Amino acid sequence: MHGFWLLIHPFPIAMVVSLACILGISSARENFDAAQFTRALITLFLSQAHVGMTNDYLDRALDAQAQTWKPLARGWVKPNEARLIIFASFALMFIFALTLGPIGFVLALLGTFAGQIYNFRLRGTPYSWIGYVLGFSVLPFFIWDAASSFSPTFLIIVPIGIPLIFAAHLAQTLPDVESDRALGVFGFAATLGRERAAMLLWLMLIAAHALAFGTAYWLKSNLQTLFAAMIASFALVTASMFIYYARRTPQSLRIVFRLVSPSALILVAGWLAALRT
């Protein structure tokens, strides 16, 4: 059971679902349908699990050489078992997506297919970031449709989100740069090399914070609320920098991802909270 749990990539899924909750709750209006929103979160969870498990299934031969702790590489989950639950997760996602109406259904499929484009075509290329950008660009619209809460003002979160997406992608792939390069797998971070990827990671996070402040000032949002979120967010960014430069092992670099992801969530939550107040 532990192997199956690891196969779905629980931490990244928790971050994506948390982001969806932040987007939905912060934009909720009087006509908010909690049941509809819950079905959307289940759909999102199944979609992310499907994409994450497919990624591990396709990379199982490489993981057997470089990431032997993964469940398929260790033999905790057999390939035929992985295929079964990959198919089952997509079938369940499809069923739940049907309950969201035509727009929600199409957006759910688009988000899932963006992840699979990454898995099947982009993950070992310098363009691996495209799959992330496509998937996360669909996510806000999927959530706003489920919450019946779209407002044109919310679109300003998109340019803030783009550097955060790049940062999350770099942070998630940073631990595997050296092993990927040794195996001839050159995704975006591996193409840049670890040092340049790390520098771009920090620059993207700084850019996102600057954009958050600039847009909040322009919209006359509550800057006190935003400052509180920015301080908390940047504290995690600073901690991730310290860990990176203190000890650059794959294990410590995975901690960088576990700090960068919640820092992005805090920044988004603070920006939206400042907008509402």
Q: What is the third-level CATH fold of 1-142? A: Tetracycline Repressor; domain 2 (1.10.357)
**Which architecture does CATH list for 151-277?**
Up-down Bundle (1.20)
Q: How many CA atoms lie within 13 A of 18 on its CB side?
A: 15
Read off the pLDDT of residues 82-93 as tens digits, 9 standing for 90 and up.
Answer: 999 999 999 999
- The pLDDT value given to residue 260: 96
Going residue by residue through the chain, which has 277 residues, state the pLDDT in tens, using 9 for 90 and above. 888 898 999 999 999 999 999 999 888 777 788 999 999 999 999 999 999 999 999 999 888 888 888 899 889 999 999 999 999 999 999 999 999 999 999 999 999 999 999 999 998 899 999 999 999 999 999 999 998 887 788 888 888 999 999 999 999 999 999 888 988 889 999 999 999 999 999 999 999 999 999 999 999 999 999 999 999 999 999 999 999 988 878 888 999 999 999 999 999 999 999 987 6
DSSP letters for 101-114: HHHHHHHHHHHHHH
Q: Long-range contacts made by residues 70-73, C-beta under 8 angstroms, separation at least 24?
A: 70/6, 71/2, 71/3, 71/4, 71/6, 71/7, 72/7
- The pLDDT value given to residue 26: 84
Of 175, 6, 176, 173, nearest in space to 74 by CA: 6
Q: What is the pTM of this model?
A: 0.94
Give me the residue spans of the domains in the chain.
1-142, 151-277
Is 50 within 8 Å of 86 (Cβ atoms)?
Answer: yes
Determine the Cα–Cα distance for residues 64 and 117; give it in Å rounded to an integer.
Answer: 23
- The pLDDT value given to residue 277: 62
